[in-house]
Chain A
Amino acid sequence: MIMLEGVTKQYGTRKSLQDISYTFEKGKVYGILGPNGSGKSTMMKMIAGLVYPTGGKILVEGKPVSRKIAASLAFLSTEGMLYQNFKVEQMIHFFATQYPDFQREKAEELLAFMELDRRQKVSRLSKGQQGRLKLLLVLSRNTDILLLDEPFIGLDPMVRDMIVKGLVSFIDFGRQTVIITTHEINEIEPVLEEALLLDNGRITAFCNVEEVREKDGLSVLEWLKTNVKKEAVL
């Protein structure tokens, strides 16, 4: 369980996150939606213990989060994960040494699934292949929490589809708490259970994905649009 209690992050006068309170329940799949600059990435980095709140608390399993959380949390970040002059297998080897819960067999399975060549250099991989390699690296770990920051950014629809399949195949549903940030919602909507809308550093709406369909007859994308509009009117 991840609890955010009145979390604020301030950079000078600019507030990246404002008084966020929310609880992520264990074993569920969450989507954080919102435009660029809404504070999605900051929120992810905070849960990963890599950015510290200016105000409020973040508790994971009741304990304040720190950099040590990395032992039980896998984080796919938008930048800095891959070393350009490494081969795919060297990246895998490096991750295996850094995280005791890294599973070699799972990495092998994912290598085949993601159609990656272990001898290729990272710098020679296409954007889509790099995205798949990043996913391989985090999905090979056996963690309680999985954070995916913009896993679809810059990828073409075919690759996105593949990544969604990868997620469904390799996430340990019911045990892993998964948080995905994205602004390309369509592909992952069927994977999500809960959706949050972040705008200007605040959670402006949240919903259960199937409930929105059932009660309002809306997809999350449409729900998102109506909520953004309401905001704009206010």
Chain B
Amino acid sequence: MSAEFKTSKPIYSQIADRIIQQFVRGELHPGEKLPSVREMAIQSGVNPNTIQRTYGELERLGVVETKRGQGTFMTEQNEMKLKLRHDIQKEMIEAFIESMRSIGLNDHEIYESVNQSLKRSDHES
């Protein structure tokens, strides 16, 4: 399942993003053990040094913890998950607003169209 990587971003941070997303979606649980560097490298078809960097970066962000001789685990702090979700949410909304503005919508129009879309999808479900 070696996934495709986008060209614009270092591979190590793309894998980090992927792990964060899985964590926020609940596919990875707090305290869950991550695959070893080597396993993860094989799964994603990348150089193990890249995974090493990914785990290092995640640890720096406080998303994972490395326990000596045991491996790398997702953090057990619940606030972290909320914070990460908030970060992703913020990032997505900012990107959305930016692209709406770029096609010429003003803030009111953006608000209205989002509102309508939400009502419609409520109706359908």
Contact = CB atoms under 8 A, between A and B. Distances in A.
Interface residues of A, number: 21
B7 A217 contact: yes
B3 to A, nearest CB: 10
Closest 8 pairs between A and B when the two form their complex, measured CB to CB: A219-B7, A190-B46, A213-B10, A217-B8, A214-B10, A210-B10, A173-B48, A168-B42
Contact of B47 (A29, A165, A217, A222): A29
A191 B44 CA distance: 10
B48 A190 contact: no
Interface in B38-59: 41-42, 44-50, 53
Interface in A142-192: 161, 164-165, 168-169, 173-174, 189-192
A218 interface: yes
A53 B45 CA distance: 36
B2 A210 contact: no
Contacts of B49: 173-174, 193
Interface of A: 29, 161, 164-165, 168-169, 173-174, 189-193, 210, 213-214, 217-219, 221-222
B45 A213 contact: no
A169 B46 contact: no
Interface in B1-44: 2, 5, 7-12, 41-42, 44
Given A173-B49, A193-B49, A164 B7 contact: no
Max chain B C-beta neighbours (<10 A), residue from A29, A168, A191, A218? A168
A173 B49 CA distance: 8
Contact of B11 (A161, A168, A190, A217): A190
Contact of A190 (B8, B9, B47, B53): B47
B2 A190 contact: yes
B2 A169 contact: no
A168 B41 contact: yes
21 contacts: A161-B2, A161-B45, A164-B2, A164-B45, A165-B2, A168-B42, A173-B47, A173-B49, A174-B48, A189-B5, A191-B45, A191-B47, A210-B50, A210-B53, A213-B8, A213-B9, A213-B11, A214-B9, A214-B10, A217-B9, A218-B8
Contacts of A213: 7-11
Given A173-B48, A190-B47, A210-B12, 4 more contacts: A190-B2, A191-B45, A218-B8, A219-B7
A190 B5 contact: yes
A214 to B, nearest CB: 5
Nearest to B37: A173
A210 B13 CA distance: 10
Max chain A C-beta neighbours (<10 A), residue from B12, B42, B53? B42
Contact of A191 (B7, B9, B12, B46): B46
